[in-house]
Structure 1
Amino acid sequence: MTANAACVTCGNPLTEAVAGRRYCSNACRQRAYRERTSARDDSPNDSAFPAPLDTFVGRREELASLARLGSEHRLLSLVGPAGAGKTRLAVQHVSKRADQAWWTALAPVSDVVQAIYHAVGAHPLPNRSVRDAVIAEVDQHRRPLLVLDNCEHVLADVADVVSELLACCPRLRVLVTSREPLRLAGEQVFALGELDLPPADSDAAEALRYDAVVLFRDRAVSVDRSFEVDSSNVSDVVAVCRSLDGMPLAIELAARRVTVLSPADVLARLGDRLALLTGGPRTADDRHRTLRAAIGWSYDLLSAAEQAACRHLAVLGVPFDLGVASAVCGVDDALELLTSLEQKSLLVVDRMGGHTTFRQLESIRLYCRERAVESGDLSLVADRVVDWVCSVVEPEISSFFPAPSVVLRLDRNVGLLELAVARTAETGDWPRHVLTIIATAWTSTPRGPRGAPTELLHHALAQPMPPAHRSVLTVLAAMHHRVRGGWHVTRTFAQESLAIERADAGRPGTLARALEVLASAEAHTGNPAMAWQLYDEAVELLRDSGDKLARAVLLNSYGWTLLQHGEPDQAAPLVREALTLVRLLGLPHMLNPVLHSAGAIALARRSYPEAVDLFRESLEVGSEHPMDQFYDLEGLALGLVGVGSDDERALSLLTAASVVRTRYEFRAEPYWQAQLDEARALCRDRITAGRLRAAESTGERMSLAQAISYALTAQPLAGDDDSPISARELHVATLVAEGLTNRQIGQRLGISPHTVARHVTHARSKLGLRSRAQLAVWAGRHTP
């Protein structure tokens, strides 16, 4: 027994007679018991908790998940970016808890142990540490919960304390809010993201089913009781919420501006949102009174390397993959950097089709871009993007056709190409400028056609460049004019490319490509005999190359051109071989043009059901690049007219495809145009006047994506008064009826499983259905 041992209750020295005990008398023991009993009162310590004065909006699924995870795991970390509403959600979660809970606000403190000591109401223990006092207090309660709010600036200290508390207090549960997890054994991380966002074209009734819009309305009404979301402002409110990534803090700050700005005015000013989104409640933490301060708190906690990465990535302005990030950040492998930034809630990870990309929330990006401007990083990043683009393109310029993996890589990072094109033009780096134009010509997006704009191509052709680069660029210019029906211009550019290749032998791939393009031009400018000769030379060049994809593309072009000149029987074996090669290569995105040719041959042979099946398959496999599919809409329409099964749908599809052709100046070959004209004439003869106009109007109003969905589901246009759900929701419902999982549907449609789940939920809500099985039954009854 040490000389300075003392009673835990009164502090009087303990005598030898009571050695080994904690109390000097029964009175002190009973007093300690009464204190413990009082402390075990199951009502939470409400006085220590934030007391929100506004309403809590949404997050029903998140609250349910927190309740479940909190019962299953002793350490739960609620993480998310600045302004995601972590603290508010934690308060709402704990307010429903009946057991003892303590709230520890760590944002203004640096000593974690002292903050917890005061939060739990611990008492000093003689000759014992503060940690021991905390453990002694916590261990007296039956099911205690400790909430540690805003831990990111003292993460290591929090991890150390929490680890010890959980080890010493087996009944304790801990809820942490932070912008990154503690990374402790047994930790369950709950990532808090954006509020549910409505589709861009939602009406007021639909928009108000989404938490982001409800939050905007609620906070706007709190400062302007006359405000309401209606038909006059719903599109602007939805656009504001979507532009702010569904982040609660940003939406709240934007909504408070309706006292002096309309939603349209707020939307117009979001380009300078860091200046606009200020003026949070006076009682709010300083970090939550402006959007800039909220993001700056996270940025200032980063290491120098992490801050530089945030600045460099912000210059991109588009999603990026690991390879791009490594190049832009100037490291061999940026995996650790990206992992760290993602864990700190400064990057969002998107996974789709087996590929991972990263992006910054727009508000975070704008903040970091400001820092990039201050640091003079813009030119550095632009030069690194140019280096990356050229490193991808240059190894492929001697090929007949760039490797699909290269095209896919460029497609996934197509947003970077504009930056690379502008930078090389600005610096007069014309050889590399040509490579950036070639990259642009190889790519496509869901919103635009494949290929570089005419003015970019022609401007680049006026610049000095190596002969090999010029050959590739002139053949790309020829292909550009080919799809627009400019056959004489196509012929001129193709002849120039061929002359370069014949003079500079040794590139059979680019020589074969020049021959192929020139052959198609000769066939359409009155010299088919020369065309067949050029095609045969190209086929011979590639016969022993081992490049099966190049051979498939060439054979398909040869077959398509033969068909245009009335030779379907000669075209059929060429296209059949091309189709076999592409299927064997396992490249579904390359099937589209070959299936189109096969479908056109079936049409020529009047095998209309076969043609319908081929064009349907082409529409299904081509969803990654819908701009390539207007031909398939026309082909399917021709097949339907031939079968005579659905003239109205056929006319709608023909009209929708015609809109695309007009918008991008795509001219059909004379052979194909004649079939389109004949089909329209037949439809107009066989459809009554009223239904005829309705069919054409439907086609005119549809986007290309809607037309494709309509073609595959045989349902009306999204938003049609007779359709209770959108075309996309209907398409998802039909796939549910086929028994596909959300992941399988997402892979089929090129969207995330989370987005699929949202479509399923919205469709069920609109239809008043309570289960996925009921939705499948409904879809089976309403689709052919």
Structure 2
Amino acid sequence: MAALDALRAALGEDRLLLVLDNFEQVVAAAGDVAALLEAVPALVVLVTSRQALRVRPERLHPVAPLAATPAERLFAERAAAVHPGFTLDAGNAAVVAEICRRLDGLPLAIELAAARIRLLPAPALLARLAERLDVIGDGPVDLPERQRTLRATMEWSSSLLGRHEQAVFTRLGVFSGGWTLDAAEAVCGRAGEPAVIDALAALLDASLLVAADGSASEPRWSMLDTVRSHAVEKLLASADRAETERRHSQWLLALSDSFWHTGALGFPAALARFDHERADLRAAVHRAVAAGDGQTGVVLARNSLPYLVRRDGVGEFAAWLDGLLRSADELPPAVRGRVLVTRAMAAGFLGDLSTVRPLLEEGRRLLPVDVDDPEHHYDRAGAGLAGVYAALADGSVEEASRCIDEVEAGFAAASQEVGLMVAALIRGNLALLLRDHHGAETSYRAALEMAIRLEESSAAGEVLSLLGLVLLGRGDVSGGRRTILDGAAANRRNGTPANMVHGLVGLAAVALEDGRPAAAARALGAVDRARQDTTPPLWPVLGTLTEELTARTRQQLGVEGHEAASAEGRGWSLVQALDRTLAETAAAGGSRSDGAPAAMDPGGADDDVAR
């Protein structure tokens, strides 16, 4: 108190500004600063610190990283200071911009990187930034030791943390993207340790975490890349690494399994959650491949399939499984069988039908039989689905129908709502192949009901397009038109490229019913381009319908007229084709109904998936 009284007397009543720099070194003295402010009301204190003081008078003003242009200007200035011939010009501007972006716009990191320009030209410096903590160093000798290298800066910042905060910081290095509180608790929490949320608060105060994209109900945090590099290094050297990676994989296994049981969460929310976690999913699968952990790898891949199908990721899904088969020669028979069956299913999705049956038959031989557990039910459904593709490759719709019974039984035993919806859709396709319009309509309506309940608008659009084609085939032109327009509109808003193709085939059928064969030919031309460029092969029933519609348009237009209209359609993207064909159909008298399928669909278009 004597010191406080002396300061109060010295400062008097004058309005003064006291600047305290790098206060993180003495953050325990924050209470003294608060007491001084209370004792000297006219005093204003400006504090710079890596950590918040956490006192009542404090008003935080976070210093954001530099924006692109100031960051690039700083790099150029510091580079020219050590290498007078350096200038920022059109030849190196893109490289410098990427260097600054990779360094998160952090002024110290940019200054230290620029100091290397004498040794490493900008392209070489960028190429080595993967080792950023080692490459970025050798700063001016008149700087404090902790600011001469990026590694020293990171070590200094983390050394100011308590033991538990340091442990949580290290464990957070396992996340490739951001994380939610529940994810951090599942992966970084340990029995007998303080709460993870308290450690996160301390790391946020220490400016080692940043807020990431999230929602009010489920906020997310992440690290800048330079900070994360330090956390990763610490994790790789930590005795806790294996346990942290195991927990990370287990968290993703539980999260990915929940995708099949979206329940009240709804499909859109589940998709959005997986968009955030995709980098972590990829990292966990690659880790399993590297370790030869076939069980973890195949279950992670299989559980994520509904997401990957909607995000054009089936090719990556197949590559994961190929990696597991290559890296895990000593897999237990049941696990290897699971990988083979799942790979057969992927081959079917990708249209590689000649490989489906060999993979499936080898996988079936290795799988256990008459086992009543969730994993076996998944395997049973997956084997049935692969069997559908194998049967269709051989032209046996009857065998495919028997296989879909196996799919439904497996998904029902596992209570997989998404799987049951897919099974109903496929059963409708098989019925339509057999020209069983009544059976197709029954199955499509069941699939549509489940899609609406799950809020799976992408599948709903596909089902509506197919159901509308069935109704047209039964002579219900009005009902078929309305249903096809509903499906096309839903596919335009939220569909994958394959879904959009379904919408265009339906609109082509409507155009022919309206007596507009040129419009039908243009729509089918866009379908032809999409089949070649962006989408997996069409399901056989849609391929057959497309061929029939094409033959009708050629007959009505003649060869030259058909080719001219088709060529115009081939010049359109899927989005352009849907927009123009929908507009033309509306102008010709078609109108979309106000039924539940369209109403449930979110309004935002995701054009990128179709471009």
Question: TM-score, length-normalised on structure 1?
Answer: 0.59
Of 339, 347, 350, 1:484 maps to 350
Query: How has the CA–CA distance of structure 1 residues 349 and 447 changed in structure 2, closer, same or farther, with 3 Å as cutoff?
Result: farther
Partner residue in 2 for 1:597: 463
Of 666, 669, 692, 2:539 maps to 669
> Is 1:195–1:212's contact at 8 Å kept on the other side of the alignment?
yes
Partner residue in 1 for 2:426: 557
Partner residue in 2 for 1:504: 371
> Is 1:615–1:633's contact at 8 Å kept on the other side of the alignment?
yes
| Residue 747 (structure 1) shift | 11
SS in 2 for 1:146: strand
Of 180, 183, 203, 2:54 maps to 183
Partner residue in 2 for 1:686: 565
> Is 2:341–2:386's contact at 8 Å kept on the other side of the alignment?
yes
Of 204, 210, 229, 1:366 maps to 229
User: Is 1:193 the counterpart of 2:56 in the alignment?
Assistant: no
Please tell me the residue identity of whatever aligns with 2:499. D
Moved more, 161-170 or 457-466: 457-466
| Residue 534 (structure 1) shift | 4.4
**Cα separation, 2, equivalents of 1:501 and 1:303:** 50
**Cα separation, 2, equivalents of 1:247 and 1:152:** 18
| Residue 301 (structure 1) shift | 1.0
> Is 2:385–2:404's contact at 8 Å kept on the other side of the alignment?
yes
| Residue 652 (structure 1) shift | 7.2
User: Is 1:465 the counterpart of 2:332 in the alignment?
Assistant: yes
Q: How many residues align?
A: 549
**Cα separation, 2, equivalents of 1:501 and 1:608:** 48
Query: How has the CA–CA distance of structure 1 residues 547 and 173 changed in structure 2, closer, same or farther, with 3 Å as cutoff?
Result: same
Please tell me the residue identity of whatever aligns with 1:659. D
Query: How has the CA–CA distance of structure 1 residues 602 and 139 changed in structure 2, closer, same or farther, with 3 Å as cutoff?
Result: farther
Please tell me the residue identity of whatever aligns with 2:62. A
Instruction: Give the greater-gyration-radius structure (CA).
Output: 1
Partner residue in 2 for 1:240: 99
More helix by share: 2
Please tell me the residue identity of whatever aligns with 1:367. H
Query: How has the CA–CA distance of structure 1 residues 177 and 595 changed in structure 2, closer, same or farther, with 3 Å as cutoff?
Result: same
Please tell me the residue identity of whatever aligns with 1:362. D
Partner residue in 2 for 1:455: 322
**Cα separation, 2, equivalents of 1:591 and 1:380:** 39
Which of 1 and 2 has higher RCO (CA within 8 Å, sep 6+)? Answer: 2
| Residue 480 (structure 1) shift | 0.4
> Is 2:430–2:541's contact at 8 Å kept on the other side of the alignment?
no
| Residue 292 (structure 1) shift | 2.1
Query: How has the CA–CA distance of structure 1 residues 389 and 249 changed in structure 2, closer, same or farther, with 3 Å as cutoff?
Result: same
User: Is 1:150 the counterpart of 2:16 in the alignment?
Assistant: no
SS in 1 for 2:161: coil
Of 347, 353, 358, 2:209 maps to 347
**Cα separation, 2, equivalents of 1:212 and 1:675:** 57
Question: TM-score, length-normalised on structure 2?
Answer: 0.73
**Cα separation, 2, equivalents of 1:574 and 1:292:** 61
Please tell me the residue identity of whatever aligns with 1:134. L
Q: Deviations over 1:223-278 (max 9, x none)?
A: 55664544432332222122111222212332344444332121012122223222
Partner residue in 1 for 2:146: 287
User: Is 1:578 the counterpart of 2:440 in the alignment?
Assistant: no
> Is 1:350–1:357's contact at 8 Å kept on the other side of the alignment?
yes
Moved more, 162-171 or 353-362: 353-362
> Is 1:498–1:515's contact at 8 Å kept on the other side of the alignment?
no
> Is 2:392–2:400's contact at 8 Å kept on the other side of the alignment?
yes
**Cα separation, 1, equivalents of 2:288 and 2:305:** 16
Of 479, 485, 501, 1:634 maps to 501
User: Is 1:522 the counterpart of 2:391 in the alignment?
Assistant: yes
SS in 1 for 2:125: helix
Query: How has the CA–CA distance of structure 1 residues 267 and 406 changed in structure 2, closer, same or farther, with 3 Å as cutoff?
Result: same
SS in 2 for 1:190: coil
Question: Gaps (5+ residues) in structure 2?
Answer: 581-601, 607-611
| Residue 561 (structure 1) shift | 3.6
**Cα separation, 2, equivalents of 1:520 and 1:475:** 12
> Is 1:148–1:175's contact at 8 Å kept on the other side of the alignment?
yes
SS in 2 for 1:582: helix
- Counting only pairs closer than 5 Å after superposition, residues 104-123 of structure 1 correspond to structure 2 as none
User: Is 1:415 the counterpart of 2:415 in the alignment?
Assistant: no
Moved more, 644-653 or 336-345: 644-653
Please tell me the residue identity of whatever aligns with 2:63. L
Partner residue in 2 for 1:141: 14
Partner residue in 1 for 2:159: 300
Query: How has the CA–CA distance of structure 1 residues 547 and 366 changed in structure 2, closer, same or farther, with 3 Å as cutoff?
Result: closer
Question: Gaps (5+ residues) in structure 1?
Answer: 1-127, 198-209, 623-628, 700-706, 715-745, 751-784
Partner residue in 2 for 1:60: none
**Cα separation, 2, equivalents of 1:553 and 1:516:** 10
SS in 1 for 2:221: strand
SS in 2 for 1:189: coil
**Cα separation, 2, equivalents of 1:464 and 1:406:** 32
**Cα separation, 2, equivalents of 1:274 and 1:543:** 52
SS in 2 for 1:178: coil
Q: Deviations over 1:731-770 (max 9, x none)?
A: xxxxxxxxxxxxxxx99689xxxxxxxxxxxxxxxxxxxx
**Cα separation, 1, equivalents of 2:171 and 2:371:** 41
> Is 2:294–2:336's contact at 8 Å kept on the other side of the alignment?
no
Please tell me the residue identity of whatever aligns with 2:443. L
Query: How has the CA–CA distance of structure 1 residues 656 and 540 changed in structure 2, closer, same or farther, with 3 Å as cutoff?
Result: closer
**Cα separation, 2, equivalents of 1:481 and 1:537:** 19
Please tell me the residue identity of whatever aligns with 2:459. P
Partner residue in 1 for 2:585: none
| Residue 712 (structure 1) shift | 8.9
SS in 2 for 1:503: coil
Percent identical among aligned pairs is: 26
SS in 1 for 2:233: helix
**Cα separation, 1, equivalents of 2:544 and 2:603:** 37
Query: How has the CA–CA distance of structure 1 residues 171 and 578 changed in structure 2, closer, same or farther, with 3 Å as cutoff?
Result: farther
Query: How has the CA–CA distance of structure 1 residues 654 and 323 changed in structure 2, closer, same or farther, with 3 Å as cutoff?
Result: farther
| Residue 631 (structure 1) shift | 0.7
User: Is 1:357 the counterpart of 2:223 in the alignment?
Assistant: no
SS in 2 for 1:368: helix
| Residue 392 (structure 1) shift | 5.8
| Residue 518 (structure 1) shift | 2.7
> Is 1:348–1:358's contact at 8 Å kept on the other side of the alignment?
yes
Of 254, 266, 288, 2:125 maps to 266
Please tell me the residue identity of whatever aligns with 1:361. L
> Is 1:523–1:561's contact at 8 Å kept on the other side of the alignment?
no
**Cα separation, 2, equivalents of 1:547 and 1:272:** 44
Please tell me the residue identity of whatever aligns with 1:363. T
> Is 1:398–1:509's contact at 8 Å kept on the other side of the alignment?
no
Partner residue in 2 for 1:74: none
Over aligned residues, Cα RMSD in angstroms? 4.6
Of 647, 651, 659, 2:533 maps to 659
